[in-house]
Structure 1
Amino acid sequence: MSKIAVLGAGSWGTALSMVLVDNGHDVRLWTHREQQAEEINGSHRNDRYLKEIDLPAELVAYTDLERAVHEVDAILVVVPTKAIRQVASQLAKVLHHEVTLIHATKGIDPDSLKRVSEMLEEELPRSLYRELVVLSGPSHAEEVALGQPTTVAVSSRQIEEAEIAQDLFINERFRVYTNPDLVGVELGGALKNIIALGAGISDGLGYGDNAKSALITRGIAEISRLGVSMGASPLTFAGLTGVGDLIVTCTSPHSRNWRAGHLLGKGYAMDDVLEEMGMVVEGVRTTKAAYRLATEQNVELPITMGLYKVLFEDANPKDVVDQLMTRGRRHEMEDLEYGLGGHFSR
């Protein structure tokens, strides 16, 4: 049995905590909300994020970060991207021993253009962890919390650390693969949220499966182009954290990014969408980050550019989709070859 602190009591942090409890670990779930901690400890529910799901009685919530991480073997960070630096800075002040450090947050900071692992590395002294591990893959928190079969990947620069994380999480309902491509695993999980927004918009506009299938397929080409330009392996995007995560996020109302896009396609304003969601929609911030990265690295991302116009320039979603459908003629294999490591940009 390991002692594990999970930082972030949203839907994903709570669901992963349940997996760890099922595996027999001593799990402390940290939240900065006193009322949420009282609900988890008192009624064993977290209804704002996982409605009508009973949490294990062994799962204990903390609001005191120092107490939560005291003498733990591992720390799992699952807070929104915008809170990563703040929480990591707080953690650096109260953690006094070396741990296995894992994060399961899917996003890119639109200001610094840093991945989550890079932000954690900048904020936390290296003496506090051996090597950072990323957990990502096609996984709805609601299904994980219900014990439905799920498969994810973990990645680290040191295979030993990835295998430690694999052992912590793996069971008969939650299968965990290792993948050596940390950059690709992290980028796939972040960038797919952009395409999920687009898939939601397409559904909200009333377009059918043909349109969404094209969007998903062209979306993986965009993710691969940007990922390869940033040092990722193209093969990663054909796996769980690429195609796998893209499918699950683009095709289900469980996905908050799909739901946000669906509301946009229905004609809701961006501010109203975010208010209606009541939870962080990582794809919005990631779209801004990917737009900047594509511009700086001269990588063509037409879907991302179109979504940027919808989210930040008040463009009409239907007009953007129509523009994507009327782009100049192209050769599909050129894009596929580029995603598989070619060096030309279209």
Structure 2
Amino acid sequence: MKHVPVSGDPVPFSAKPFRSVAVIGAGSWGTALAATLARAGVQTRIWGRDAAVVNDINATHRNAKFIPDVDLPPNLLAVHEMSDALRGAEAAMIVVPSRSVRAVARQVAAHAAPGIPVAICAKGIEAETGLLMTQVAEEELGSRPIGCVSGPTFARETALGHPTAATVAFPFAYADRLTPHESPAARFSVSLTTESFRAYVSDDLIGVEIGGAVKNVIAIACGMMTGAGFAENTRAALITRGLDEMKILAEALGGRRETVTGLSGIGDLSLTCSSPTSRNMSLGQQLGEGTPRENCFGGKPVVVEGEFNAKTVTDLARKVGITMPICETVRSILHEGEELGTAFAALWARPIEAEPRAMALSLDHPATHQAIANLAERIS
């Protein structure tokens, strides 16, 4: 069906895709993004530190280690040297775990052309500094424009071409306001957009990044309660109140509440909290079932971003003087030795609040002791 514009619709601009993009990171999400770019007709090189993965992509057009059942575009080239990935690239995407962003950004800075835009595709907050991932990258990449890509995106589904949407966020300078179709965000958006992938544009970098960091922690909480035997009511409550925590932190740091109700906020939150495909929810579910942390994922050393985010998010919230009860509960279980049943019972027995925060109302919980006793017993 042809789109029929109505009064009030913005007039579409024609943005120019990047001719060549370097994707730094050959894990599942990096591979999915690289495949999307290549299918959009962008000359794409993907860098991987694992030579076996690089060779596999070039020889078989598959990434057997991370998304083995997905055929990759034959025009996608994998490289093992950072200089090869970035040579001639008009833009770059850093798609590595949050703990590796600083070191990898430093490598990118040594080889990337001055002034090329770089999109960070990791979600989290650096433990040592309390900086968001784009702020970490800014310290290493100098004057290059820094933005991020975030949204409700499982890598395998994206790589398979399932209809998917995400947000590209970059700060908008004065010149970007005058010619928005020439901004890095707009050019990344059209570079990524295919028949199945839609990339929306945002200028609220903080709001988008906070959504990506907080949703991982809320997903662990949802998984814990699912593993403990609770169902839809409980998960819906955690998602909704978790969204509120996300809004408060974003706003406190200068982001917009509106952003958190978009793809990078509620979109990513609802996806991550609703499927064991998410490593965050899966970890929570295993812990809720009583599996010791060292035995989760069959004892394999699986990186779960929300496990680190639980501490970094709450550290940041404490620093700016706001309360995030669900995130604090997850932190107490993962990092402070609190028993899962006791921690969630205490969360549910907190004083009753008004949902619109503007009311500034708090009421004594009339069944605090019963709530604590009931939930602690049911979860144990």
TM-score for both structures, normalised by structure 2: 0.85
Return the match for 1:204 from 217, 227, 230: 227
- Give the 3-state SS of the residue equivalent to 1:47 in structure 2: coil
Call closer, same or farther: CA 1:232–1:274 in 2, change over 3 Å. Answer: farther
Contact 1:260 1:277 in 2 (8 A): no
Asked whether the 8 Å contact 1:299–1:345 carries over to 2, the reply is no
Match in the other structure for 1:4: 21
Q: Is 2:150–2:212's contact at 8 Å kept on the other side of the alignment? A: yes
The Cα offsets for residues 139-192 of structure 1, whole Å up to 9 and x where unpaired, read as: 111110110001111111124111111111112211111112111011111111
Give the equivalent residue in structure 2 for 1:186: 209
Aligned residues of 2:53 and 2:64 also touching (Cα < 8 A): no
Distance 1:46 1:278, change over 3 A: farther
Residue 88 (str. 1) matches residue 105 (str. 2): yes
Residues 276 and 61 (structure 1 numbering): CA distance in 2 closer, same or farther, change over 3 Å?
farther
Structure-to-structure mapping, 1:55-66, within 5 angstroms: 55-66=72-83
Cα contact 1:5–1:29 (8 A) shared by 2: yes
Q: Which amino acid aligns with 1:116?
A: M
Secondary structure class of the residue paired with 1:268: coil
1:260 to 2:283 alignment: yes
Gaps of 5+ in 1: 339-343
Corresponding position of 1:175: 198
**Whole-angstrom distance in 2 between the partners of 1:276 and 1:186:** 30
Q: What corresponds to 2:50 in structure 1?
A: 33
Is the contact between residue 39 and residue 45 of structure 1 (CA under 8 Å) also seen in structure 2? Answer: yes
Which stretches of structure 1, 4 residues or more, deviate above 6 A after TM superposition?
Answer: none
* 3-state SS, counterpart of residue 332 of structure 1: coil
1:120 aligns with 2:137: yes
8 Å Cα contact 2:61-2:72 kept in structure 1: yes
1:240-319 superposed matches below 5 A: 240-273=263-296, 276=299, 278-319=301-342
Higher alpha-carbon Rg: 2
1:95 shift after superposition: 2.4
Q: Which residue of 1 aligns with 2:157?
A: 143
Is it true that 1:43 corresponds to 2:66 in the alignment? no
Distance 2:361 2:349 in 1: 20
SS at match of 1:201: helix
Taking the aligned partners of 2:203 and 2:219, their CA distance within structure 1 comes to 25
Cα distance in 2 for residues equivalent to 1:118 and 1:294 = 17
How far apart, in 1, do the equivalents of 2:130 and 2:298 lie?
A: 25
Distance 1:228 1:298 in 2: 12
Residues 213, 313 of structure 2: 8 Å contact kept = no
- In the superposition, relative to structure 1, how do residues 46 and 220 fare at CA in structure 2: closer, same or farther (>3 Å)? same
Cα separation, 2, equivalents of 1:21 and 1:117: 24
In 1: Cα distance, 2:187 partner to 2:302 partner: 31
Give the deviation of 1:276 after TM superposition: 4.2
How do residues 234-245 of structure 1 correspond to structure 2 at under 5 angstroms?
Answer: 234-245=257-268
Whole-Å separation in 1 of the counterparts to 2:278 and 2:136? 25
Structure 1 position 212, deviation (Å): 0.4
User: Offset at 1:277?
Assistant: 5.7
Task: Name which of structure 1's ranges 91-100 and 66-75 shifts more when overlaid on structure 2.
Answer: 91-100
Contact 1:156/1:181 (8 A) holds in 2: yes
Aligned length, in residue pairs:
336
| Cα distance in structure 1, aligned partners of 2:231 and 2:54 | 42
- Letter of the structure 2 residue corresponding to residue 42 of structure 1: A
Query: RMSD of the alignment, in Å?
Result: 1.7
For normalisation by structure 1, the TM-score amounts to 0.93
Separation (CA, whole Å) in 1 of partners of 2:320 and 2:237: 25
Matches within 5 A, 1:207-222: 207-222=230-245
* 1:72-122 CA-partner distances (Å, limit 9, x unpaired): 111011111111111111122222443221111111112111001101100
Name the structure 2 match of 1:133. Answer: 147
Gaps of 5+ in 2: 1-17, 177-182, 363-380
